[in-house]
Amino acid sequence: MTPKNTLWALLALMFACGMADALYAAAHVRMPVWWMFLSAFLMSFLPYYWYRLDSEARLYRRSRWMSMAVVAIAPIGIPLYLLRSRPQGGRLGSLARMSGFLVMMLGAGVAGVMAFFVMPG
C-alpha cells in the first residue's frame, strides 16, 4: 500500500463513520461496541501506517517518541513530523496540504451523514 492509498482509506473510513453515526442516530439505538473499537483502532492505525510509509519513502529515521506522538496525539505529532521531515522550503506547503486533508476528512464524514439521509428506503 502506498501513502496515498492509506490516505484514501482514511477518507473512506470517515465516510463510513459518518454513515454509521447517522444510521444509529436515526434508529435511536446505541452504536455497537465492536464498531466503536474498530473505528477507533483504524483512526489510530491508519495515520501511523501513513507515517511509517512516508518516513520510509523519505528515508527519515523514526524515533520512538515521534512514533508515539503520531499514534497518541496525532493532531500534534503529524504536523511535528511534517516540520521535521520536510526540507526547508517545503514545510509550509506540507502543512497546508495537511490542513486541506483535514478539511477533506471533515467533508467525508459530513458526506457520509448526507448519503445516509439521501438513500431511498
d(Cα 120, Cα 90) in Å, to the nearest integer? 46
The phi, psi pair for 61, rounded to 5°, reads -80, 120
C-beta neighbour count of 81 within 10 angstroms: 24
CA 83/CA 90 separation, integer angstroms: 9
Cell numbers for 96: 497546508
Q: How far apart are CA 105 and CA 26, in angstroms?
A: 22
Q: What is the pTM of this model?
A: 0.89
Give the C-alpha separation, 121 to 117, whole Å: 9
Instruction: Tell me the pLDDT tens digit for each residue of 3-38.
Output: 999 999 999 999 999 999 999 988 899 999 999 999
- At 36-76, the pLDDT tens digits run 999 999 999 999 999 999 999 999 999 999 999 999 999 99
